[in-house]
Structure 1
Amino acid sequence: MNNSDSGATAQAAEDAASPPGMRIFQLPTGAYETPAALAFQGGSFRDRRQFAATAVLVQHPEGDVLVDAGFGAHAEEHIRMLPSFRRSPHHFGMTVSEQLDAAGYDRSRLLGVILTHSHWDHVSGLDSLDVPVLVTDEELRYADHNRGDRVFRRVAAGHSFRTYVFDGPAHLGFPSSHDVHGDGSVVILPAPGHTTGSVVVVVTLAPDRRYAFIGDLAWQLDGITRGAQRPLLMRLLADSDPARIRQDLARVTALAHHLRIVPAHDARGYDGIPLLVPDLDTGWAS
């Protein structure tokens, strides 16, 4: 990224706005443990990392969206559908559906689930969510041919799909964009490196409160703070286009002073994002 691109990116970050009343909440659904050595280059086998499976609820005056769906009610069954080398021990918490109900959330507000990509630990929770799935045609094609992860095809049955295209201009250093509400508050950016239809979701609550939910562009914050890619073996096993991963990591790293970067599987990235709990004044989530 050259200096002029960096300047335009910084200006776009500073100029961002959003409608009053927007809020976000984290909905942790569980975790699994992985050595840091398998998560990023330079990590240690002695350093055990908790890989979070956390969805995010974005409240917007025109309708709310979830970013990913976390572990579902049938997550243990979903794990058994995976290749044996991916069946690590998992800890399960409340599903997204259970957390919405416990908070008294009005589900009529929910427009759908934006998937960062279709891997099982991002979609398992669709098994108990009766809402549309917002996804690109590219990711649907990827999921249809992904023999190593059949969970999406199982949980997607019965759901309606709202496919979108990147019909908007270059945004924050990415070549194109899709504006969910048309006001710049929730913008999806193409990042087809981990899977061929992976995306980054940028949420703006205020000019100085912005989040980039980057899915599995990096598994841990070390991918941003240290510029550490996945180890070579993990890149070969997990990524569709490692070169595109490097390119998009550079784009995201350039945003780190302007946005809160949240890798899907690093619980530290969600620090400060409130949990969804009942609000006695409004009668639903706060």
Structure 2
Amino acid sequence: MKRFLLIFLGGIVVSLPTWSQNEKIKVTVLYTGTASPLEGSTIQGGSWFKKFPMVHPAFLIEHPKGNFLFDTGLGKTAKTQVQDMPWWARLATRFEQEETAVDQLKNLNIKPERIIVSHVHYDHVSGLADMPEVPVEILPQELEFTKIKGASPAVFPSLFSDKTPWKTYELERKEYEGYSKSRDIFGDGSLVLVGMPGHTPGSVGLFINISNKKRAFLVGDTVWNSEALNNGLPKFWLSRKFADTNSDEVLERIKELQALHKKYPELLIVPSHDAKAVAAFVDLMKL
């Protein structure tokens, strides 16, 4: 649970946030695929002469009160699923598959109790079809987004079925780290969802608070490239038209992330597809 530590500096009382230690939380990154687009396609002003390493992860979160997947990455039928995309979108989203999340979970002898999706683009929910019995938690506006024909070339019918076990939830009107709405998943401040609309209407990010020195923020696809946060830059204009539902809102989210980083420079902000950022997250979770 988030608490506050009062200290005296030159006669001035300063309030600093502190966190309960919860080292029993375990986080495992399940890599399900990779991609190597030109950097220029991932960020405004990026190079068109070098490739940018991207990954397609799912995040397994194990907490003393239960476990869940945050996104699924690419599933067993990903190559077939994307045939529903327009041809130009398929050309722009080429990927190499690795072992699926469901197979990696089987090797770990773990069955997820639920899946929480950051958003419903194919590379984050493709694996839902591999785990049809697992409840899928989603904001109502994001579920509605799946039903709007042509709303996004990255959302298409083969990703879902009439039997997908959706479970909608609402964020509470509780401010958290500058975000007006949040959801404390287990009630102890260790895993907190916040609303991040823009990339899609119901995108969410996940704060992971294990200790004062072991904090991370999974921000989905608000940005693809961590350099976007450093420089306040959006995706390349064509990528924005393809991927972002509301580009103006995405810019607001980027500003929020910059302010957050300034306030907590030790907080690791993790765009889901930035291979370097995800590797740094893996290293942090091992500490």
* TM-score bucket (shorter structure): 0.7 to 0.9
- Of the three residues 56, 65, 68, the one matched with 1:65 is 68
Q: Please tell me whether the aligned partners of residues 146 and 156 of structure 2 are also in contact (alpha carbons under 8 angstroms).
A: no
Q: Please tell me whether the aligned partners of residues 268 and 281 of structure 2 are also in contact (alpha carbons under 8 angstroms).
A: no
Query: Per the alignment, do residues 167 and 252 of structure 1 end up closer, same or farther by CA in structure 2, a change over 3 Å counting?
Result: same
**Is residue 2:39 matched to residue 1:31?**
no
For 1:2-38, what per-residue CA distance to the aligned partner results, in whole angstroms no more than 9, with x for missing partners? xxxxxxxx977x3233534111110000012211111
Q: How high is the sequence identity, in percent, across the aligned residues?
A: 27
**Is residue 2:109 matched to residue 1:104?**
yes
Aligned counterpart, 2:5 = none
Cα shift at 1:154: 3.4
Q: Secondary structure at the match of 2:146?
A: helix
Aligned counterpart, 2:7 = none
For 1:82-128, what per-residue CA distance to the aligned partner results, in whole angstroms no more than 9, with x for missing partners? 111121432110000000111222x1xx3311111000000001111
- Of the three residues 107, 117, 141, the one matched with 1:138 is 141
Q: Secondary structure at the match of 1:48?
A: coil
Distance of 1:188 and 1:168 partners within structure 2: 12
Distance of 1:140 and 1:74 partners within structure 2: 21
**Is residue 2:225 matched to residue 1:217?**
no
Distance of 2:26 and 2:215 partners within structure 1: 11
Cα shift at 1:178: 1.1
- Of the three residues 190, 193, 201, the one matched with 2:198 is 193
AA aligned opposite 1:126: L
Total equivalences in the alignment:
262
Distance of 1:229 and 1:66 partners within structure 2: 28
For 1:54-78, what per-residue CA distance to the aligned partner results, in whole angstroms no more than 9, with x for missing partners? 0111110110111110000001101
What stretches of structure 1 of length at least 5 have no aligned partner?
1-9, 276-286
Query: Per the alignment, do residues 51 and 192 of structure 1 end up closer, same or farther by CA in structure 2, a change over 3 Å counting?
Result: same
- Of the three residues 2, 22, 25, the one matched with 1:22 is 25
Q: Please tell me whether the aligned partners of residues 36 and 43 of structure 1 are also in contact (alpha carbons under 8 angstroms).
A: yes
Question: Which of 1 and 2 has higher RCO (CA within 8 Å, sep 6+)?
Answer: 1
Q: Secondary structure at the match of 2:260?
A: coil
Q: Report the RMSD for the aligned CA atoms in angstroms.
A: 2.0
Q: Rg bigger for which structure?
A: 2
Query: Per the alignment, do residues 127 and 11 of structure 1 end up closer, same or farther by CA in structure 2, a change over 3 Å counting?
Result: farther
**Is residue 2:84 matched to residue 1:81?**
yes
Distance of 2:159 and 2:241 partners within structure 1: 25
* TM score, norm. by length of structure 2: 0.85
Distance of 1:50 and 1:75 partners within structure 2: 20
Cα shift at 1:150: 4.2
Q: Secondary structure at the match of 2:147?
A: helix
Q: Secondary structure at the match of 2:232?
A: coil
Distance of 1:41 and 1:20 partners within structure 2: 39
AA aligned opposite 1:117: H
AA aligned opposite 1:224: L
Aligned counterpart, 1:3 = none
Distance of 2:183 and 2:141 partners within structure 1: 14
Query: Per the alignment, do residues 227 and 146 of structure 1 end up closer, same or farther by CA in structure 2, a change over 3 Å counting?
Result: farther
**Is residue 2:46 matched to residue 1:43?**
yes
AA aligned opposite 1:167: E
Cα shift at 1:226: 2.2
Query: Per the alignment, do residues 90 and 162 of structure 1 end up closer, same or farther by CA in structure 2, a change over 3 Å counting?
Result: same
AA aligned opposite 1:74: T
Distance of 1:74 and 1:11 partners within structure 2: 51
Q: Please tell me whether the aligned partners of residues 26 and 54 of structure 1 are also in contact (alpha carbons under 8 angstroms).
A: yes
Distance of 2:136 and 2:34 partners within structure 1: 23
Query: Per the alignment, do residues 229 and 98 of structure 1 end up closer, same or farther by CA in structure 2, a change over 3 Å counting?
Result: same
Aligned counterpart, 1:249 = 254
What stretches of structure 2 of length at least 5 have no aligned partner?
1-13
